[in-house]
Amino acid sequence: MKQELLDILACPKCKGPIQLNTEKNGLICLSCKLVFPVRNDIPIMLIDEAKPLDTTNHPEG
């Protein structure tokens, strides 16, 4: 996914920044602890499609 796209995308819930996580195959909002899926290089930025972030495997920081 292009960095230019990541720079303009925001979390649809809190409007905060997101970051790409290839391990989770999605975009992560650390504020909301949500993972938004990416399918065929298309980010699915719908709150209903987001999954909770497993913070035991991904500590913040």
Q: Give the pLDDT confidence of 40-50 residue by residue, as tens digits.
A: 989 999 999 99
Could you tell me the fold of the domain covering 3-52?
N-terminal domain of TfIIb (2.20.25)
The distance between the two most distant Cα atoms of the chain, rounded to a whole number of Å, is 30
What is the pTM (predicted TM-score) of this model?
Answer: 0.81
Domain edges within the chain = 3-52
Find where tokens 């230019």 sit. 4
pLDDT attached to residue 58: 46
pLDDT in tens, 2-61: 888 889 999 999 999 999 998 878 999 999 999 999 999 899 999 999 999 886 554 454
DSSP 48: G
DSSP 47: G
pLDDT attached to residue 12: 97
**Beta pairing, strands 42-43 & 19-21:** unpaired
